Copies of this chain bind each other. A is one copy, B any other.
Amino acid sequence: MPIKTDQQAMIDAQRQQSSPTLRPTVTTLEQILYKALPVLDHGFIRVIDYMGNDAAIVQAARVSYGKGTKTVREDQGLIDYLMRHHHTTPFEMCEIKYHVKLPIFIARQWIRHRTANVNEYSARYSIMENEFYIPDETQLAAQSQKNRQGRGDMLEAKRAQHVLELLKQESLKAFNDYTQLMNEDEEGKIIAAEETGLARELARMRLSLNFYTQWYWKIDLHNLFHFLALRAHPHAQYEIRAYADVMLKTVEQWVPAAYGAFCRYRLGAAQFSAPALHVIRKMLRGEAVTQENSGLSKREWDEMMTTLK
């Protein structure tokens, strides 16, 4: 279970304090505010705060003195138009703040998105928790042969069991060594009175990349869409996709009109290169085109054909 009892109590306490506000509010998002949405074996996504809603996008696009919205249909039309034509600044007028618990090797991919604000749990100052990621057996794949960056076939059951057992035992041992090095247990209690513990900032070196860290992460909607387009993409590593998928649902509950536009014009859209467009135009005119006479490489041809099927 990703959340301990005292943590859950703190979350529940926050969900009981309602205040009136003149700001735009989103009822569907308020329903999950602060709640821990589970991801992987010990991770979570929590929505901590948000600014704006679909109407705030419209309001900013119109630089309005009031709400700035017209009919639902016109507002959706404007949001679609903005998304389609890459007028991205009105989407920056919405902001969301998450609390995320995630394995370190995923945190290292995630942090590459620079246009966001981050406060990470400090392992210089505090003791890490004894929680590490062990993949589900169904996720244990071999290196992909087609796509050199990614996963291919599943490992067979016996091999998979061996892998999982190794990762688990070594992670447990790593945490035990970590506490021994610091001479402090998980709660910060001294282990051996006569011994000197190593500084936390050094002891953490013993931990492996599957240990969980956590951070507060805040981002505007435009940059969140950019993050999600890359991280919910089939080429992204499964573990970060698991987070992106949960975040997509929070976005749907927050800004349904913008989410719809994002699905139509980004997630489900495809870009064709100049030579690929040339091929498509020919095909639509009924001309026969083959990879050989297309001017496209085998790889691009295959990518195009996959998209067009």
Contact = CB atoms under 8 A, between A and B. Distances in A.
Interface of A: 3, 7, 9-11, 13-15, 17-25, 30, 33-34, 48-52, 56, 59-61, 63-67, 77, 84-86, 89-90, 92-93, 95, 97, 99, 103-105, 107-108, 111-112, 114-115, 117-122, 124-125, 133, 135, 139-144, 148-153, 155-156, 159, 163, 166-167, 170, 174, 177, 181-182, 195-202, 204-210, 214-216, 218, 220, 230, 235, 237, 263-265, 267-277, 280-281, 283-284, 297, 300, 307-309
A51 B205 CA distance: 36
Q: Which 8 residue pairs spanning A and B have beta carbons closest together?
A: A10-B66, A268-B274, A92-B117, A205-B210, A114-B114, A7-B65, A51-B51, A19-B25
Given A152-B199, A277-B307, A133 B50 contact: no
B22 A30 contact: yes
B202 A141 contact: yes
A153 B151 CA distance: 47
A112 B117 contact: no
Contacts of A265: 271, 273-274
B103 A97 contact: no
Instruction: Please tell me how many copies of the chain the complex holds.
Output: 4
A112 B21 CA distance: 32
B167 A206 contact: yes
Contacts of A15: 22
Given A63-B120, A140-B202, A25 B33 contact: no
A206 B19 CA distance: 47
B220 A86 contact: no
B63 A216 contact: yes
Looking at A13, A51, A210, A281, the one whose CB has the most chain B CB atoms below 10 A away is: A51
B66 A150 contact: no
Contacts of A159: 195-196
A275 B284 contact: no
B65 A155 contact: no
Nearest to A67: B14
A181 B163 CA distance: 7
A200 to B, nearest CB: 6
A197 to B, nearest CB: 6
Nearest to A155: B196
A202 B103 CA distance: 12
A14 B22 contact: yes
A299 to B, nearest CB: 8
Given A140-B202, A143-B182, A204-B209, A216 B133 contact: no
Q: Identify which of A25, A148, A218, A269 gathers the most chain B CB atoms within 10 Å of its CB.
A: A218
A169 B152 CA distance: 32
Contacts of A230: 86
